[in-house]
Amino acid sequence: MKKIKITVMKKANYEDLIQKYENPIENPCNMVEGQIFIAEGWNKPNGFCDSAWQSLSAFVMTLSHGGQDIYEGWMKNKKSAMISCNDGFRPVSFLIEALEEEV
């Protein structure tokens, strides 16, 4: 299996939706733009958000096992994917890239 580089590319914050619909929570998201995680194959990296992992894990598994060209021509780099977490109040976009290095 290949190692996978996961980079936090962009964070959004929809204050209007948060104020209208969300109950206050203590620690909504600690991801930082530019932050990099390395997944050893399909294993969730230490410190990675559990909820975000649910959104990314299928893509990480595909790329770690050598899959490429997800959605046929979607990404310029066929060994990558751009996926957002499932938080509707503060979504985070991640660039997932297969590295040549094996686990």
Number of folded domains that form the chain: 1
Distance between CA atoms of residues 41 and 17, nearest Å: 36
Cα–Cα distance measured from residue 60 to residue 58, given in angstroms and rounded to the nearest whole number: 5
Domain that holds residue 26: 2-102
Where is 15: in which H helix or E strand? helix 15-21
Q: For residues 18 and 8, what is the distance between their CA atoms, to the nearest angstrom?
A: 21
Neighbour-count burial of 26, counting CB atoms closer than 10 A to its CB (0-12 exposed, 13-18 middle, 19+ buried)? exposed
Which residue is it, tokens 């991640």?
94
- pLDDT by residue for the chain (103 residues), tens only, comes to 999 999 999 999 999 999 999 998 888 889 999 999 999 988 999 999 999 999 999 999 999 999 999 999 999 999 999 999 999 999 999 999 999 988 8
